[in-house]
């Protein structure tokens, strides 16, 4: 049997364009592929995605597959699992990369089961420079308290999902040429076992948390939905977005879209202000890339101070209004 070759990136769209995370994966794939002189392919879903193929090629893909049949126009775990598994079976990449997104979380394990492949979820690093292993992957475990480095051998396909902001996009090469392959086949409807009854999506938020340069986030210490009003005011005074840890979301003081951490969003702001946040690993793992972390907590022993650059031991009910006052004056 011919050896598996090449890297396949499963791309996703955001607002009709190639998602930032997909651009990161392409950049990462390109660097990995250049190690062994391999090809990078990109898989896109939906007929309209064909128009994005040249962009994908400029960002590092040698070939772009477009699953153009209407059944793929919206994410469906069954449909995407079947298509990705069949494409991998045909193309036989040595590595298939997906984002650690709803798609990646659902499809990667299922495809790996079908393909008898290795699997590594939520990778923060993938390397091809080991002599002993085809690829080495590093992923956070124990809620981010530790990192596990895992090796994959030649001779078995590997499927990895990658955490946002772990890889960086290639600088687009304008004149780059590649191939676009339209996959026009659909699926037997009986193979789709899960029916989506409804999607109640919120309006797109003004400031995308993942792109925000300034974030003010509240944790369990905020104590209730009312406290979040103060968080929002401070965010406004700083021109930033509002975030939350899992506690406020579980308690319903803040929506899931605000959640930052292992099961929420990964952020990389210049300034992160953590208010009433204890500093549990599952949350901290989502803000590691922040340039400056400021913590306000009334407990001087709170874990968050170990991961912060600046700290103020105080009750947020006193501290936050004082800060709002100061910043309103200074930033006028």
Footprint of other proteins on residues 26-55 (CB under 8 A)? Answer: none
Footprint of other proteins on residues 282-311 (CB under 8 A)? Answer: 282, 284, 288, 291-295, 303, 305-311
Q: Which is nearer to other proteins, 37 or 202 (CB)?
A: 202
- The 3-state secondary structure of 210-236 reads CCCCEEEEECHHHCCHHHHHHHHHHHH
Query: Cβ contacts of residue 325 below 8 Å, gap of 6+?
Result: none
Shortest distance, position 63 Cβ to other proteins, whole Å: 27
Residue 65 parent element (H or E): strand 63-67
Q: Which is nearer to other proteins, 141 or 225 (CB)?
A: 141
Q: Which is nearer to other proteins, 34 or 270 (CB)?
A: 270
Q: Which is nearer to other proteins, 146 or 171 (CB)?
A: 146
Shortest distance, position 317 Cβ to other proteins, whole Å: 10
Our finding on whether 225 is near other proteins (CB under 8 A) is: no
Pick from 93, 118, 169, 243 the residue near other proteins by CB under 8 A. 118
The Cα 106–Cα 102 span in angstroms is: 6
The Cα 300–Cα 303 span in angstroms is: 9
Pick from 145, 173, 185, 211 the residue near other proteins by CB under 8 A. 145
Query: Cβ contacts of residue 277 below 8 Å, gap of 6+?
Result: 217, 218, 219, 220, 221, 245, 283, 295, 297, 302, 304
Nearest Cα to Cα of residue 107 among 43, 169, 166: 43
Shortest distance, position 314 Cβ to other proteins, whole Å: 7
Shortest distance, position 318 Cβ to other proteins, whole Å: 5
# chain residues binding other proteins, by CB under 8 A: 88
Pick from 1, 15, 37, 199 the residue near other proteins by CB under 8 A. 199
Sign for the CA dihedral angle at 329, 274, 310, 163 comes to negative
Our finding on whether 1 is near other proteins (CB under 8 A) is: no
Task: Write each residue from 69 to 98 as x if it is in contact with other proteins (CB under 8 A), else as -, in one continuous string.
Answer: --------xx--------------------
Footprint of other proteins on residues 156-185 (CB under 8 A)? Answer: 156, 158
Our finding on whether 140 is near other proteins (CB under 8 A) is: yes
Residue 274 parent element (H or E): strand 271-275
The Cα 63–Cα 43 span in angstroms is: 9
Our finding on whether 220 is near other proteins (CB under 8 A) is: no
Query: How many whole angstroms from its chain centre is CA 127?
Result: 18
Q: Token digits for 217? A: 């986030």
Our finding on whether 218 is near other proteins (CB under 8 A) is: no
Footprint of other proteins on residues 245-274 (CB under 8 A)? Answer: 246, 249-250, 256-257, 262-263, 265, 270-271
Our finding on whether 322 is near other proteins (CB under 8 A) is: yes
Shortest distance, position 197 Cβ to other proteins, whole Å: 4
Burial of 243 (0-12, 13-18, 19+ CB in 10 A): buried
C-alpha distances in Å from residue 219, one per residue of 117, 212, 249, 291: 39, 18, 9, 20
Pick from 29, 44, 122, 266 the residue near other proteins by CB under 8 A. 122
Our finding on whether 119 is near other proteins (CB under 8 A) is: yes
Pick from 137, 166, 245, 268 the residue near other proteins by CB under 8 A. 137
Q: Token digits for 13? A: 């769209």
Pick from 20, 47, 54, 143 the residue near other proteins by CB under 8 A. 143
């Amino acid at each position: 049997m011919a050896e598996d070759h090449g890297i396949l990136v499963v791309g996703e769209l955001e607002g009709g364009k190639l998602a930032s995370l997909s651009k990161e994966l392409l950049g990462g794939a390109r660097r990995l592929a250049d190690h062994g002189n391999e090809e990078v392919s990109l898989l896109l879903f939906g007929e309209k995605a064909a128009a994005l193929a040249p962009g994908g090629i400029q960002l590092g893909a040698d070939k772009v597959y477009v699953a153009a049949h209407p059944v793929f126009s919206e994410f469906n775990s069954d449909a995407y699992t079947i298509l990705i598994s069949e494409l991998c079976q045909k193309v036989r990449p040595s590595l298939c990369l997906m984002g650690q997104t709803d798609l990646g979380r659902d499809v990667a394990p299922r495809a790996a089961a079908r393909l008898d492949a290795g699997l590594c979820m939520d990778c923060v690093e993938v390397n091809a420079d080991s002599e002993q292993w085809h690829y080495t992957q590093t992923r956070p475990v124990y809620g981010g308290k530790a990192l596990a480095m895992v090796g994959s051998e030649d001779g078995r396909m590997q499927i990895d999902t990658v955490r946002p902001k772990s890889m960086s996009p290639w600088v687009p090469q304008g004149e780059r040429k590649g191939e676009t392959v339209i996959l026009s086949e659909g699926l037997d409807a009986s193979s789709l076992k899960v029916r989506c009854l409804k999607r109640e999506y919120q309006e797109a938020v003004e400031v995308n948390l993942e792109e925000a340069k300034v974030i003010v986030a509240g944790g369990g210490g905020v104590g209730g939905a009312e406290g979040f009003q103060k968080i929002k005011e401070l965010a406004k005074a700083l021109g930033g977005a509002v975030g939350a840890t899992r506690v406020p979301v579980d308690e319903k003081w803040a929506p899931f879209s605000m959640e930052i951490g292992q099961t929420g969003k990964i952020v990389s702001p210049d300034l992160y202000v953590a208010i009433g946040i204890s500093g549990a690993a599952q949350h901290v793992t989502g803000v590691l890339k922040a340039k400056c972390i400021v913590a306000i907590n009334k407990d001087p022993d709170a874990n968050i101070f170990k991961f912060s650059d600046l700290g103020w031991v105080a009750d947020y009910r006193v501290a936050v209004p004082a800060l709002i006052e100061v910043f309103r004056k200074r930033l006028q």
